[in-house]
Structure 1
């Protein structure tokens, strides 16, 4: 199936791209892969890891407000099964000034740490194998 090898872009709007950059670049260690300004009224930035099969895009439509995350259960989950890699990722977030928050779903507190970005969207750093690898 073609989608099994597709690269995925996860895009979402924001009211302040600059406020998100410390969270995703400094905290999570993403790189800026590209950006654009005033593309038909939109500004944006793509963040990720060059070798990963995904990247994140944050966009701002000039003159339009989107507000914060609609719930505390809007999550991006990164599976980090190796204890050292998980500890390093959590410490990187904390060194960048981001403290873990209690997860809306207590399951995520048992298997990892949850962090909230400036827009209220949450990222879970889970110390476990991805579901397709844990059978």
Structure 2
């Protein structure tokens, strides 16, 4: 049964795991939790898992392998991080230095309450100034 403590994995294809790692690890400040290379057998692929060691979630990025999948993000595919503080300019600059591109969101809410940055594969990261509230 799913609980509030259940671990969450967000899996996405990537064109280039080296560029993705630069964005998520050097840019955002996550850790590379696991790396694996395809051995060429059916169903295998290169793999990078990034996140924070003590978090109950992580991001899995896959590339290449015997059946590569091209990323197909839309402008509404968002990963939102609630900072509960202003978004530091140096963080946005670091994300851009590591392959990110600052963009405007089609949803004015995210432009008011955060900063949106596309990762090297076109998926969007929103750094929200708000605090998470489930009410």
Structure 2: unaligned runs, 5 residues or longer: none
Considering fraction of residues, name the structure with more helix: 1
Among residues 57, 61, 70, which one is paired with 1:58 in the alignment? 61
Instruction: Report 1:13-28 matches (<5 A).
Output: 13-28=13-28
- Does 1:46 pair with 2:45? no
Residue 5 of structure 1: aligned partner:
5
Shift of the alpha carbon at 1:111? 0.1
Among residues 103, 107, 128, which one is paired with 1:126 in the alignment? 128
CA distance in 1, matches of 2:106, 2:91: 22
RMSD (Å) for aligned C-alpha atoms: 1.9
Q: Name the TM-score, length of structure 1 as normaliser.
A: 0.84
Q: Name the TM-score, length of structure 2 as normaliser.
A: 0.84
**Which 4+ runs in 1 deviate beyond 6 A?**
none
Contact conserved, 2:83 with 2:127, CA < 8 A, in 1? yes
Contact conserved, 1:28 with 1:92, CA < 8 A, in 2? yes
Residue 112 of structure 1: aligned partner:
114
> Structure 1 residues 104 and 67, CA, compared in 2 at 3 Å: closer, same or farther?
farther
Contact conserved, 1:67 with 1:119, CA < 8 A, in 2? no
Among residues 75, 79, 94, which one is paired with 1:76 in the alignment? 79
Shift of the alpha carbon at 1:129? 1.1
Aligned length: 129
CA distance in 2, matches of 1:106, 1:56: 26
